[in-house]
């Protein structure tokens, strides 16, 4: 089992997979963990997951490309210490509205 599949299965075993959560992946890189979580949420609830991927530098070959239809799958280029988590629900909603208009 690839590492991301192992994490996904453990999260599911503890009831941590739901469309009610906002998942934040620090140092997301390609976003494999968020990809696995988003797929599991879709499988279980038939709804889009809310994923925030944070990283300092942009990477190529991102798994984001599989979630172009999910306005709540968002990547931010930012240091964790500079990211304002209190604004997350509002920021996520505004970004999703912009993404849907494109």
Give the model's pLDDT for residue 64.
83
Give the model's pLDDT for residue 82.
87
pLDDT tens across the length of the chain (102 residues):
455 565 556 778 888 889 999 899 998 888 888 888 998 899 999 999 999 998 888 766 678 888 888 888 888 888 888 888 888 877 788 878 887 775
Task: List, in order, residues 6 or more apart from 73 with CB less than 8 Å away.
Answer: 34, 38, 48, 49, 50, 51, 53, 64, 67
CB atoms within 10 A of CB 31: 25
| Coil, strand or helix at 14 | coil
Give the model's pLDDT for residue 41.
92
């Amino acid at each position: 089992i690839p590492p991301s599949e192992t994490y996904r299965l453990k999260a599911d075993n503890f009831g941590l997979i739901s469309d009610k959560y906002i998942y934040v992946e620090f140092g997301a890189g390609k976003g494999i963990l968020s990809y696995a979580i988003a797929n599991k949420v879709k499988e279980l609830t038939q709804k889009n997951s809310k994923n925030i991927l944070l990283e300092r530098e942009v990477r190529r070959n991102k798994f984001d490309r599989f979630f172009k239809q999910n306005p709540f799958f968002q990547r931010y280029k930012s240091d964790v210490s500079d990211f304002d988590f209190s604004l997350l629900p509002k920021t996520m909603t505004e970004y999703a509205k912009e993404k849907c208009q494109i």
